[in-house]
Amino acid sequence: MTKYQMATVLIVEDNAGVRAALNDLLRASGFRTLTARDGASALACLRASHMPMVVLLDVMLPTASGLAVLNAVDADLALACHCAVVVLTAHPEWGAEIADLRARWTASGTPARGAAPAVSASVLSCVLVKPLTLRQLTRAITGAADHLAARSTPDASVYGGASAHEGESQ
């Protein structure tokens, strides 16, 4: 089993057809998947699991927006330790704003003043703008899995040594 298949992909998309298509495509590409139809369901799923997860997160969601989910994951050390997020958006301006916030955080080590959301580079792996190709999607997910694997070791000091594998039965 490759490191990419070790991380489960949580697909968070409110459109049932898009969610099903992403689920089918990713499973056919060898990924384990879970799905959530809204932000609240996504957070419940993440809080109920301690396995490494790449979160494929749409921005426009009911109950809690993708940005609210991203901020909740970023603010919760228990979630941040085992999640890497790939944001999906149909709005290029939102993708650019999120990527810009991430770049400023990465460069300075602190969130941009007055910026909302304050997104840390430790959780956000990348931003994809729809429409996209299967190749772009799988590259983003494997990149996020790399990002997650790099943080999932016992010596990952940015998370105080917490391992994303703790508490799992092998």
Two tokens, residue 20: 């099903």
Comparing 115 with 4, the larger pLDDT belongs to 4
Q: Which residues contact 163 (CB under 8 A, 6 or more apart)?
A: 81, 152, 153, 154, 156
Q: What is the 3-state secondary structure (H, E, C) of the chain?
A: CCHHHHCEEEEECCCHHHHHHHHHHHHHCCCCEEEECCHHHHHHHHHHCCCCEEEEEECCCCCCCHHHHHHHHHHCHHHHCCEEEEEEECCHHHHHHHHHHHHHHHHHCCCCCCCCCCCCCCCEEEEEECCCCHHHHHHHHHHHHHHHHHHCCCCCHHHCCCCCCCCCCC
Q: pLDDT tens, 40-75?
A: 999 999 999 888 899 999 988 888 888 888 888 888
Please report the pLDDT score of residue 96 as a whole number. Answer: 62
Pick the closest to residue 79 from 139, 135, 162 (CA basis).
162
Average pLDDT, integer, range 140-155: 76
Residue 164, pLDDT above cutoff 50? no
Two tokens, residue 14: 């409110």
| Paired residues of 12 in beta bridges | 36, 57
pTM: 0.76
Domains of the chain and CATH, by start:
3-159 (3.40.50.2300)
Comparing 161 with 61, the larger pLDDT belongs to 61
Two tokens, residue 132: 């996209």
> CA 57, CA 127: separation in Å to the nearest integer?
9
Comparing 35 with 129, the larger pLDDT belongs to 35
> CA 77, CA 74: separation in Å to the nearest integer?
7
Average pLDDT, integer, range 4-32: 89
Percent of the chain's residues with pLDDT above 90: 34
Comparing 114 with 59, the larger pLDDT belongs to 59
Q: Tokens 């298949």 map to which residue?
A: 5
Please report the pLDDT score of residue 43 as a whole number. Answer: 94
Rounded to the nearest 10 degrees, the angle between the axes of helix 66-75 and helix 39-48 is: 30
Name the band, by pLDDT with cuts 50, 70 and 90, for residue 95.
low
Please report the pLDDT score of residue 121 as a whole number. Answer: 58
